[in-house]
Amino acid sequence: MIKHIQLNKGLDIPVQGAAELRIEKTIIPDVVSVKPVNFRSLTPKLVVREGDAVKAGSILFVDKYHPEVGFASPVSGTVEAVVRGEKRKLLEIRVKADNTTDYIKFNAPEPGKATAGEIKKVLLESGLWVALTQRPYGIVANPADEPRAIFVSAFDSAPLAPDYNFTLKDEAANLQVAVDVLGKLTKGGVYVGVNAKTSAGSPFNHLKNVKLYGFSGAHPAGNVGVQINNIAPINKGEVVWTIDPMLLVAVGKLFTKGIYDVTRTIAVAGNRVERPCYVTCVPGTQIKEIDFLVSKKEVEIFDQETGCRYISGNVLTGKNVGLEGSLDFQSNMVTVISEGNYYEMFGWVKPFRCGKFSFSKSYFSWLAPKKKYKVDSNLNGGQRAFVVSDVYGKVLPMDIYPVYLLKAILAEDIDKMEQLGIYEVIEEDFALCEYVCPSKIDIQDIISRGIATMIKEMA
Amino acid sequence: MKSLLNLVEKIKPTFSKGGKLGFLHSTFDAFETFLFVPNTVTKSGSHIRDCVDLKRVMTVVIVALLPALAFGMWNVGEQHSIAFGLDMTFIEKVWFGFLKVLPLIIVSYVVGLGIEFISAQLRGHEVNEGFLVSGMLIPLIMPVDVPLWILALAVAFAVIIGKEIFGGTGMNIWNPALIARAFVFFAYPSQISGDTIWVEGLNAAKANAMQVVDGFSGATPLGQAANGIVDFTTTTGEPLSLMQAFIGTMPGSIGETSTIAILIGAVILIWTGVASWKIMVSCVAGALAVGFLVNGFAEPGTFAAVPAYWHLVLGGFAFGAVFMATDPVTSAQTETGKWIYGFLTGALAVIIRLFNPGYPEGMMLAILLMNTFAPLIDYYVVEGNIKKRIKRSTIK
């Protein structure tokens, strides 16, 4: 039976450029980047060299402190380059892809009979283990743990986010296999949060052996952290795991076909995309190969020319990877919006600013509730101290006092952070707080620092 | 627009760090961002940001203050014309009030912003917007006849001691505008109490033995109450109706007399979400609760017996509840805390009015007192959240 949870706080930012429900193209990548920086606080240890031939599922690097946790190549080909940054920090491994992908065949046990040990072994071997994310902290799960439960959010409520009811519509069988095997890794079971409004069309709706919750409300209702907080919050000392729906499909494929196949259908959206739509590709695909969808028209805002910002992920939490970048391991979409490097005369004093949306009613965008807006990366102000102290709570449907947690982090007060709920949050949960902040404080950055401090101090 | 932008771009290097006038960096930045929303783009976190900023938030408060300001200007003219038996048209009254109030606003902004600019410059920060509101609030809670030098001193005190020593907007403990008023109240008591300060020209008239209309008294209703008169009268000695007090045609600080003008501001603040309706509502509830309670025990004919709802329309109560108590920095910041904070503010204001014989206006002291205790209220609300978290955890 589906349990229903209504969330009353949050905000759906009306952003222009949602993807049409059609798959434009399957991208056969030329080069694929695998990036250790996609994984928080990971110290990678390289296990391949430039020139090595790899298959899809070959481990490229491992976690130095958990060498059994490997990170695999999503395609077959040759290691073209190992890119390092300052202090020889490993930034990415570039694999020149073959025309057709050659998969390593893993000996996956039969889902019905497999034991937890066998499941862990094949997940680790194949490199798919890293799909499991641990809360607290949002880091790769530790194979030695048994989590309290595993949580999956079956929908993404972020602006322009892909519609999993569309992209996963044929994957119900793989999803069922995946939740069956993952269910064996925990006594607490697998929780799935679906969108109450559209759950009828969801491939998750008929899954067996899961605890199904329907969520209604605005973003961030689709954030798994918000769902956990409203189902059963994480306590001190507890560990839960989360997994992205697209990667859940990959787990299913591993146990049915025995291959590491992380191919996914992603949305390419945003107001700079000519005809926003979906494409099928693997993580690590170069943004250049998606650029054909982006409009080449020059865009001027207030008579000033603006370029494009290429974001791997959504406009709230994604990374600005640039045209030369690649799709992150965790991203299910690419958003292209305008850069906001323009001046706007008397912007803040104009009674109407028709082209801009505001959560606050101090502008008049509430008069046009259906309107979608062309967004850009302008900060719309300057950074200040916390002043309007109650706006953050209005977009955070969690039992947490955001400003107090943020101030505890700024003060590096470990005890207070713990008491105020640092274990329950990651950056994405605070993204809307950052969006609405009139003081333009980099709130996600503060949360990152808080988590980094906790990892360091609690180790 | 283009040419102005080009000019700004052209002179920018001069004012940037390392430029000839680099030490004026903050000042230049303040003017630049006043003219243009800057071209800063997001570097980390959310790529898009709401178009609201502190400048806008502050602007909304100013707009919400305009009805009270406009009424205040007219009322200055109105009271003056009554006091001296002058026959003035509506326009003349407004113009008279405008000429009297404008210098106060100018002095307030020039002194306050001057100090803000200097302190931002010293710290190398951007200039904060906070004073845009304080600078308007301060004249509105002063008697119209306050000498400009006292006003200037009060503003300087409020900005330096009330705000900048704590680190500027967002860091202060007390509402800066009320600090200004408290300064005048304690340092120059004769300037902010008595019967002759609330109507323009009365002080001067007294000194020069000028002729005031027969039977005219400049005492505010609260002033009358302090003298034991509870059948409130207008300045000409007729009975003051509740409606008159609500509309605000009586002497008092410039912006505080008209409850109806303040209510228009309240609607703007609540609708835009800039100020908390919870604080306003609970503040009124607190005042009524204490008021009616005292009504129950009061001897007839004392101020305590005056029906509690009178407190809402007299003196600075409405102005304080709408514009002062709701300051997001100095009020309680948790939603539960706001109910407690507002209720206690309203209750204390009435208690001070009824039981403090020295000074009939309790709102200023009540808000300052509750500003002091707001962090304590929040502490216990947040502590409740912490306790809940510890309780559900198995590991302590």
Residue pLDDT, tens place only, B259-298? 999 999 999 999 998 999 999 999 999 999 999 999 988 8
Residue pLDDT, tens place only, A50-95: 999 999 999 999 999 999 999 999 999 999 999 999 999 999 999 9
Residues of B in contact with A421 (CB under 8 A): 389
User: Are the beta carbons of B36 and A403 separated by less than 8 Å?
Assistant: no
User: Are the beta carbons of B51 and A357 separated by less than 8 Å?
Assistant: yes
> What is the rounded distance in angstroms from the CA atom of residue A79 to the CA atom of residue A54?
7
Q: In this model, does residue B81 exceed pLDDT 70?
A: yes
**Does residue A11 sit at the B interface (CB-CB below 8 Å)?**
no
The DSSP-derived string for B57-114 is HHHHHHHHHHHHHHHHHHHHHHHHHHHTT----HHHHHHHHHHHHHHHHHHHHHHHHH
pLDDT confidence of residue B11? 74
**Does residue B199 sit at the A interface (CB-CB below 8 Å)?**
no
pLDDT confidence of residue A354? 76
> What is the rounded distance in angstroms from the CA atom of residue B131 to the CA atom of residue B116?
8
pLDDT confidence of residue B367? 95
Q: Between residues A325 and B192, which one has the greater pLDDT?
A: A325
Q: Quote the minimal CA–CA distance from A61 to chain B in Å.
A: 27
Percent of chain A exceeding pLDDT 70 equals: 100
Q: Quote the minimal CA–CA distance from B123 to chain A in Å.
A: 14
pLDDT confidence of residue A302? 84
pLDDT confidence of residue B43? 87
Compare CB distances from A363 to B5, B51, B128 and report the shortest one's residue: B51
Which tokens belong to A298?
């020059």
**Bridge partners (DSSP) listed for residue A286:** A326
Number of domains making up chain B: 1
**Does residue B43 sit at the A interface (CB-CB below 8 Å)?**
yes
**Cβ neighbours around A295 below 10 Å, total:** 14
CATH architecture entry for A264-355 = Roll (3.10)
Kindly state whether residue B305 falls inside one of the protein's structural domains. no
For chain A, helix (H) and strand (E) counts, in that order, are 9, 23
Percent of residues in chain A assigned helix, strand, coil, to nearest 5: 25, 25, 50
Residue B1: which pLDDT band, with cuts at 50, 70 and 90? low
B37's enclosing H/E stretch is: strand B36-37
pLDDT confidence of residue A385? 87
**Does residue A309 sit at the B interface (CB-CB below 8 Å)?**
yes
The DSSP-derived string for B196-207 is SSSSTTHHHHHH
Lowest mean pLDDT, pick from A433-437, B95-99, B246-250 = B246-250
pLDDT confidence of residue A246? 94
Q: Which residue has the tokens 């007090």?
A: B245
Hey, which of A141-155, A372-386, B158-172 has the most confident mean pLDDT? A141-155
User: Are the beta carbons of A442 and B44 separated by less than 8 Å?
Assistant: yes
Residues 128-157 of B with CB under 8 A from A: 128-130
Tell me which residue range forms the domain holding B2.
1-39
Compare CB distances from B50 to A380, A390, A443 and report the shortest one's residue: A380
> What is the rounded distance in angstroms from the CA atom of residue B12 to the CA atom of residue B49?
25
Residues with Cβ within 8 Å of residue A367, at least 6 apart in sequence: none
Residues of B in contact with A375 (CB under 8 A): 48
**Does residue B2 sit at the A interface (CB-CB below 8 Å)?**
yes
pLDDT confidence of residue A299? 86
> What is the rounded distance in angstroms from the CA atom of residue A71 to the CA atom of residue A308?
31
Chain B residue with the nearest C-alpha to that of A402: B334
Which tokens belong to A380?
């719309």
Residue B395: which pLDDT band, with cuts at 50, 70 and 90? low
Residues of B in contact with A353 (CB under 8 A): 51
Residues of B in contact with A377 (CB under 8 A): 41-42, 47-48
Residue pLDDT, tens place only, A215-245: 999 999 999 999 999 999 999 889 999 999 9
Angle between helices B54-83 and B90-123 (to 10 degrees): 140
User: Are the beta carbons of B388 and A320 separated by less than 8 Å?
Assistant: no
How many contacts (CB atoms, under 8 Å) link A and B? Answer: 219
What is the biggest distance separating any 2 CA atoms in chain B, rounded to whole angstroms? 81
> What is the rounded distance in angstroms from the CA atom of residue A237 to the CA atom of residue A402?
21
pLDDT confidence of residue A301? 84
**Does residue B47 sit at the A interface (CB-CB below 8 Å)?**
yes
Q: In this model, does residue B193 exceed pLDDT 80?
A: no
Q: In this model, does residue B396 exceed pLDDT 60?
A: no
Whole-complex ipTM: 0.90
Average pLDDT (A132-149) is 94
Percent of chain B exceeding pLDDT 70 equals: 95
φ and ψ at B265, to 5 degrees?
A: -60, -40
Chain B residue with the nearest C-alpha to that of A435: B49
User: Are the beta carbons of B130 and A309 separated by less than 8 Å?
Assistant: no
Q: Provide the 3-class DSSP secondary structure of residue B48.
A: coil
Residue pLDDT, tens place only, B380-390: 999 999 999 98
Q: Quote the minimal CA–CA distance from B67 to chain A in Å.
A: 17
Per-domain residue ranges of chain A:
264-355, 392-458
Compare CB distances from B44 to A339, A385, A445 and report the shortest one's residue: A445
Q: Between residues A293 and B226, which one has the greater pLDDT?
A: A293
**Bridge partners (DSSP) listed for residue A210:** A190
Residues 61-100 of A with CB under 8 A from B: none
Cα separations in angstroms, B57 against A360, B62, B136: 9, 9, 14
Q: Quote the minimal CA–CA distance from A427 to chain B in Å.
A: 8
Compare CB distances from A445 to B45, B54, B272 and report the shortest one's residue: B45
Q: In this model, does residue B209 exceed pLDDT 70?
A: no
Percent of chain A exceeding pLDDT 90 equals: 82
pLDDT confidence of residue A160? 95
Task: Output the average pLDDT for chain B.
Answer: 87
Task: Output the average pLDDT for chain A.
Answer: 93
Residue pLDDT, tens place only, A366-419: 888 888 999 999 998 888 888 888 899 999 999 999 999 999 999 999 999 999
Q: Quote the minimal CA–CA distance from B227 to chain A in Å.
A: 41
pLDDT confidence of residue A298? 86
Kindly state whether residue B31 falls inside one of the protein's structural domains. yes
pLDDT confidence of residue B210? 67
Average pLDDT (A243-254) is 95
Average pLDDT (B59-85) is 92
CB A453 within 8 A of CB A412: yes
User: Are the beta carbons of B56 and A393 separated by less than 8 Å?
Assistant: no
Residue A44: which pLDDT band, with cuts at 50, 70 and 90? very high
